[in-house]
Amino acid sequence: MADEQHGLVFPSDDEGRRSTTAVGRAVVADALRPVDPVGAGAAERETAWRGEYLLYFRRLVEAGLDQPEDALSIARAGLASVHERMRVLGDDGEGTLAQWPGGTDGFTQVEVPGTAEPVEELVLPYRGDRLRGDEIRRQVDRWVEAGVVEPSVAQAVGEVLANPAWLRLEGHTVAVIGAASEMGPLQALTRWGARVAAVDLPRSGLWDRVGEAARAGAGTVVAPMALAGESGVPGADLLADVPALEQWLAEQPGTLVLGNYVYADGATNVRVSAAVDELSRRLLASRDDVALAFLATPTDVFGVPSDAVAQATERYETRSRASRTIGRPLRAASGGRLLRRPYAPGSEPGVNDSLVPQQGPNYALAKRLQRWRATVARHEGATVSMNVAPPTRTRSVVKNRALAAAYAGAHRFGVEVFDPATSNVLMAALLVHDLHTDGGPRHEHPWQDEAYAAAHGGLWRAAYAPRSALGLAALLGVGAARG
């Protein structure tokens, strides 16, 4: 998505500059303030935000671990700050998101029916094979044993395998926002026969891919078409069209699932994420049957269960003699930064910090915004599907040389990086599970909701704190990444 200034924008200062750093720092401070005023003050005074933001995004999680109400207060304050600070740029100047005016034209609808018979069983592509039934169960069990996914993934996938009729999502319309996204569920849902409302930019290349997936599937794909548009291409610009999209989606039949799969580079990622959040807020207010769906990034900070802490601790303490021999001088030379133990033994919950500096503070804020909305919506009674997705070789990752190299070497540290085809189907299956089980089991604390059915790729249960091994993984993987 281009980063031209239109529609939803960062606020301008007295000199007309739109500072992403100022907004990110202020939002984090606002989110911390209800439960951690000291941390809020430190965030406000931070002068090296782009280098030090990792500390504060970790603090946002740690500050909410004591009581469920603390996590909820942080989420509410963070959302409120984003909605109060971001602006909508129009012909008459800048206004707030709540004042976003509706356009006079709106959308009509195009419909693309599938031509195939629905796939009536879960089929999981994995390393050149197409796994079914007990093959899927055995593979998920292997992932659980290896610490690649949480044990609750096996439970959720097992329930989908036992109820193949769930796959069609009868009675639902799934709005896939970011329909052409590599990590989105469009292809899986259309193969299973679901009804999808596809939203992405009105660009012919994107809609060629969406239309191809729709026709090759067995469901129905509908898409917005601007009444005043001249391109003849379906689609909508999230940065400008939230009011019209809210009206179009509010009229979709069945239970509406609003799935957030958007991604953009840099500051635009925060803008489109804030736009989807405003769309979510409006739809939750206008309909009483809206479910929300998200994919959480594994490269973030999470509270993790005690058995994950125990497995990671055991792996650290039983690492090979060669690893111990190499690790000692590396830790000494790096001032303790390299190959650190991941948790204090016995932590409950543990705090897994898999933030990646190269992804930057805008990416961290965009993804945290989604987690905050999931926490608040679930507390208010909405069905929410928010699952941690595995590290995946998407185009946005492999175009970053450092990340591509780290992913190529990650297996040496117990982390499995998934192919997009595997991630797509696995995460779509978890979405189906959540929509048929009222969002899955409800837990006492939001961190436990986030940890349920997390497919983190091994980052939570590896022998070393992820960031302390990232550089070495990149060095070991640089040759493979170039290949």
Does residue 3 have a pLDDT over 60?
no
At a CB cut-off of 8 Å and minimum separation 6, what does 36 contact?
59, 63
Task: Note the pLDDT of residue 1.
Answer: 39
Query: What's the sign of the alpha-carbon dihedral 102, 106, 111, 112?
Result: negative
Return the residue matching tokens 């802490």: 309
Rounded to 5 degrees, φ, ψ at 352 are -95, 120
Task: Note the pLDDT of residue 483.
Answer: 53
Instruction: Specify whether the backbone of 222 is left (phi greater than 0), alpha (psi in -120 to 50) or beta.
Output: beta
What stretches of 63-166 show up as alpha helix (H) in DSSP?
Answer: 68-85, 133-146, 151-162
Task: Note the pLDDT of residue 328.
Answer: 80
For the chain, the domains span: 1-97, 107-305+359-393+416-463
Task: Note the pLDDT of residue 396.
Answer: 80
Q: Give per-residue pLDDT as tens, 260-270.
A: 999 999 999 99
Does residue 430 have a pLDDT over 60?
yes
Give the mean model confidence (pLDDT) for residues 5-29. 93
> What is the rounded average pLDDT for all residues in the chain?
94
Does residue 231 have a pLDDT over 90?
no
Q: Give per-residue pLDDT as tens, 304-353.
A: 999 999 999 999 999 988 888 887 887 777 777 789 999 999 999 999 99
Angle at 466 between CA 333 and CA 344, to 5 degrees: 85
- pTM, to two decimals: 0.95
Q: How far apart are CA 197 and CA 115, in angstroms?
A: 17
CATH superfamily, with its number, for domain 107-305+359-393+416-463: NAD(P)-binding Rossmann-like Domain (3.40.50.720)
Q: How far apart are CA 372 and CA 364, in angstroms?
A: 12
Q: What percent of the chain has pLDDT over 70?
A: 97
**Token digits of residue 168:** 């069609």
Instruction: Kindly list the distances between the CA atom of residue 141 and the CA atoms of 64, 129, 165, in Å, as whole numbers in the listed order.
Output: 32, 17, 23
User: Nearest CA to 294 among 132, 479, 150, 427?
Assistant: 427
